[in-house]
């Protein structure tokens, strides 16, 4: 009896398809590891971005990645060793943080309800101390120094540091938030009018400090690019100079004519 082959052969599926998929995924991961090992993490990131773009083009629903690298920083792997004495700086920071807390707490014991801010500086202590120790530049010679917009509610920490440096007296610290009394005191927040030799900008309103800093930097870059900013002395404008009473439209017209 002759045997005839079936015209409709049955397609055989693998017994465990998930096993084959896991093996294939492992091969993809190994290939990706080879790219990173041979060409570095930047090439690995490029490969992932290309793969995500391809997936979107063919209709794959890819989760949105909202975390992007900063444009003005470097990866941690490229950072140089910390230049300072971390143990000493931590000790100084602890003393300043304690003095700030003690100043506010003591004033509230003497004058209940006067208020003050403690936690703001506590959360900013490391950031400010690294800035003071390694980044902020004071004015000297013909260099105007940095323009710094401090978080106003962190003023107790700035006062505490100035006291530790000998720039503020104990009498001033004892009269925190009583700057209008007969004895010398300290205003609650950055106040250039009451402390013209200490504060430069009034920045206590939440959000205004960072915005003012951004627009200050943008305006100074605008003037530098048009050679209108004098880069020596106190960084005032060499030309043009405008009276305080000039209206905004007139000021803009004068500035445009000066830069034409």
201 Cβ partners below 8 Å, 6+ apart?
147, 148, 149, 150, 190, 192, 209, 212
Q: What is the pLDDT of residue 63?
A: 82
Please give the model's pTM, rounded to 2 decimal places: 0.63
Question: pLDDT at residue 92 above 50?
Answer: yes
Rounded to an integer, the average pLDDT of 172-186 is 83
Beta strands in the chain (DSSP E): none
Tokens 């009498």, located at residue: 171
**How many angstroms separate the CA atoms of 93 and 214, rounded?**
28
Rounded to an integer, the average pLDDT of 185-202 is 88
Question: pLDDT at residue 24 above 70?
Answer: yes
Rounded to an integer, the average pLDDT of 91-106 is 93
Kindly report the CA angle at 166 between 133 and 144, in degrees rounded to 5? 50
Tokens 């060499």, located at residue: 238
pLDDT in tens, 215-249: 988 998 898 888 887 654 344 433 333 344 434 44
**How many angstroms separate the CA atoms of 250 and 256, rounded?**
10
Q: What percent of the chain has pLDDT over 90?
A: 28
CA distance readout (Å), 149 to 145, 158, 225, 226: 13, 12, 23, 25
**How many angstroms separate the CA atoms of 260 and 246, rounded?**
20
DSSP codes of every residue in 217-238: HHHHHHHHHTT-B--STT--BS
pLDDT in tens, 109-154: 888 888 888 888 989 999 999 999 999 988 888 888 888 999 889 9
Q: What is the pLDDT of residue 182?
A: 76
Identify which has the larger pLDDT, 115 or 214: 214
Q: What is the pLDDT of residue 91?
A: 95
Q: What is the largest CA-CA distance in the chain?
A: 124
DSSP 249: H
């Amino acid at each position: 009896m002759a045997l005839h082959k079936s015209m409709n052969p049955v397609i055989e599926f693998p017994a465990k398809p998930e096993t084959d998929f896991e093996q294939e995924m492992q091969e993809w991961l190994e290939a990706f590891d080879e790219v990173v090992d041979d060409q570095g993490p930047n090439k690995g990131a490029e490969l992932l971005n290309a793969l995500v773009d391809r997936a979107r083009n063919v209709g794959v629903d890819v989760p949105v990645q909202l975390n992007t690298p900063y444009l003005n920083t470097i990866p941690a792997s490229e950072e140089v060793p910390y230049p300072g004495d971390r143990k000493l700086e931590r000790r100084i920071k602890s003393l300043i943080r304690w003095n700030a807390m003690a100043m506010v707490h003591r004033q509230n014991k003497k004058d209940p309800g006067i208020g003050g801010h403690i936690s703001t500086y506590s959360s900013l202590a490391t950031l400010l101390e690294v800035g003071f120790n390694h980044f902020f530049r004071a004015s000297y010679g013909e260099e105007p120094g940095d323009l710094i917009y401090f978080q106003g509610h962190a003023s107790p920490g700035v006062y505490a540091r100035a006291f530790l440096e000998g720039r503020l007296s104990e009498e001033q610290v004892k009269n925190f938030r009583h700057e209008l009394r007969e004895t010398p005191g300290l205003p609650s927040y950055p106040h250039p009018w009451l402390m013209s030799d200490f504060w430069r900008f009034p920045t206590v309103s939440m959000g205004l400090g960072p915005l003012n800093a951004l627009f200050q930097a943008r305006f100074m870059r605008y003037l530098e690019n048009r050679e209108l900013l004098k880069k020596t002395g106190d960084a005032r404008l060499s030309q043009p100079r405008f009276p305080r009473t000039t209206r905004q439209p007139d000021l803009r017209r004068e500035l445009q004519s000066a830069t034409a």
